[in-house]
Homo-oligomer: A and B are copies of this chain.
Amino acid sequence: MKQQNMIKNGSYKADGFIGAYQKLVKEVVIPYQYSVLNDELPDVEKSHVIDNFRNAAAAIRGEDVKDGFYGMVFQDSDAGKWIEAAAYSLQNCPDKELEKTVDEFIDIIADAQDEDGYLNTYFTIKDREKRWTNLLEAHELYCAGHLIEGACAYYEATGKRKFLDVMLKNVKHIYKHFVTDNNEGFPGHPEIELALLKLYRITGDKDCLELCKKFIDTRGVNTDFYKQEKEKRDWTVWGNNAEDNYYQQSNAPVRNLDKATGHAVRAVYLYTAMADLSGETDDEELFAACERLWQDITERKMYITGAIGSTVHGEAFSTDYDLPSDTAYAETCASIGLTFFAARMLEKEVDGRYSDVMERAFYNTVLAGMQLDGKRFFYVNPLEVVPGISGVIATHWHARPQRPGWYGCACCPPNVARLITSFGKYAYGENESTAFCHLFAGGRVEFSNGMKFTCETRYPYGFAITYKIEKGGRLAVRIPSWSESYLVLLNKKPVRTEKIKGYVYIDVADGDTLIITLDDSIRTNYASTRVHDLTGKVALSRGPLVYCFEGADNDNDVLSIALKKRCRAMVTENGNLPCESIAIGVEAVRKTDSDSLYSFEPPTEEEITAVAVPYYIWGNRGENQMRVWMDEA
């Protein structure tokens, strides 16, 4: 049973919480990011993405533009991600102006493609002789992957083939190098693998599948590959360690992997492709590896916010249970990648544990990655912030207390944009007989199997989800694992339903009204005592939202607050919130100690009501303390 994403004829027109975010992305993020790519903003670090393509085209025409490349070696990928986000936005909400902008951008990209199909501005501008000589560092395949994803999304949104054809031609070039000419190699940064599967499903071109399979199958087989590659060349981008196979997930054939290691984004992009390919090719051995990796990540290496990759050293997975709050790396892109991985696992097997993680990552880390106004972004998502330490001292420099603007390395912002605009692909799925509601997202949904409904909900702040059925069939709705109790009402009558792997299955008819009510209680979360940074601590959540405590709501001092054991907590109106949201008031004590660094006197404790806000809105009210995991009094 395959739960395909709605890539063919389905549609999702969002409203409510998701609708508002999609509107923000359309009205603010996409135009803002385009201005950045075009170097139009004076106070923002130069991006040069579009000029790089123009200069590559000039190089192809034989002009001297050797100094015409600016930015990271993977700068082209921003073009792919931006177009992908714009395409999803167009799919959600047509916009002639935006479409025209994208078309012009695509023309510029197309001009930068070499006669033989090669397309990469870094090498085309700087030195075409060096193509394919540095898979370890040079991100050629990574950039191609993002451009392919952009091309697929734009084709789906508009039916226009130009970009798709450009990228198909590029894939044929890559296919020739790696398959026909049988050059050894696999991507330093996985990404093209998952893109090739998208392209394969759209075009039916078997070369895409074969090329993907080759990259997956050869990865980690020759563990000296990067070392040998390095020995053959006389140049480097960053001087990456070619022997750290764990960093680049090439320590073993991927079917043998059982531990998530190395750069977290690379890892989950790879696992996403592995899961997708295993479904596409019914490769149970490959799926078993994905299952082991999934368990390793979600049972030993994931923050409560759905963040992964806890260490700044290599932006990487750390060892089991090493989940520090204040020095967390927890990159936004890694949680986006985890969402991709979850979605592909879900396609292979409908199981709420995948959608639970997808939801945890999205509503906490991914949303926290973007400022509420859509203009600034976190790459790093710490679970504790102390001004003066966070973002300042060497061990914490990466864990900034406020969202910075656009970086030179701008991976996260367009990634957030494309995930939000494509939310429907993760929220809803279908097979021939069933419509799946993996996540709760208000709006009108049409499936290619003919089913249609409108979903009404104030989720994630309201816990009744109403499906007004236009065209019936079988509906599978996830009951999140955090919802201990739930109620299913069909046309106002309770329905007894068995939960199968986290989903209830209900047959609905045209005109039916199905209401699912989930548990709205505030929950106290405990971490395993194996997490040495979290012993003695608790965190609050409500629904999918993990809560945090900020100085802004708590007299500028969160460190001295301890929550009462088995504390009573209630939702509360709080005028101080920077957006429509719901705060939590909780019984707590404020500790006041003497002025000494150490004392034999316990601090005095005053009863207070501490205020928690959803983690994703932290850092929107200036620099202040923030804590997810609180002491218990």
A residues engaging B (CB < 8 A)?
298-300, 302, 304, 311-314, 318-322, 324, 326-327, 384, 386, 388-389, 392-395, 482, 484, 523-533, 535-537, 557, 559-560, 562, 566, 591, 593, 595-603, 631-632
Contacts and interface: CB of A to CB of B under 8 A. Distances in A.
Contact of A599 (B318, B388, B526, B537): B526
B597 A300 contact: yes
B598 A527 contact: yes
Contacts of A524: 600, 602
A595 B299 CA distance: 9
Contacts of A631: 535-536
A524 B523 CA distance: 32
A535 B559 contact: yes
A597 B527 contact: yes
Contact of A598 (B326, B525, B566, B593): B525
Contacts of A311: 393-395
Contacts of A528: 593, 595-599
Tell me the interface secondary structure of chain A in the complex: loop
B393 A319 contact: yes
Nearest to A546: B598
Given A319-B389, A384-B532, A536-B632, A603 B526 contact: yes
B386 A532 contact: yes
A322 B603 contact: no
26 contacts: A300-B597, A312-B395, A313-B393, A313-B394, A313-B395, A318-B393, A318-B395, A319-B388, A319-B392, A322-B393, A326-B532, A327-B395, A384-B532, A386-B532, A395-B395, A526-B599, A526-B600, A528-B595, A528-B597, A529-B557, A529-B560, A529-B593, A532-B559, A535-B559, A535-B631, A536-B632
Contacts of A313: 393-395
A195 to B, nearest CB: 31
A593 B318 CA distance: 22
Contacts of A536: 536-537, 562, 631-632
A328 to B, nearest CB: 11
A321 B597 CA distance: 8
A601 B533 CA distance: 19
A596 B525 CA distance: 11
A593 B535 contact: no
A600 B525 contact: yes
Contacts of A530: 559
A329 to B, nearest CB: 10
B601 A526 contact: yes
Contacts of A559: 529-530, 532, 535
A529 to B, nearest CB: 4
Given A535-B631, A536-B632, A562-B536, A529 B603 contact: yes
Given A524-B600, A528-B597, 20 more contacts: A298-B597, A318-B395, A319-B392, A319-B393, A322-B393, A384-B532, A389-B532, A484-B600, A523-B600, A525-B600, A526-B603, A528-B593, A529-B557, A529-B593, A529-B603, A535-B560, A535-B591, A536-B536, A536-B631, A566-B602
A560 B484 CA distance: 27
Given A562-B536, A603-B526, A631-B536, A597 B531 contact: yes
Nearest to A538: B602
A610 B552 CA distance: 39
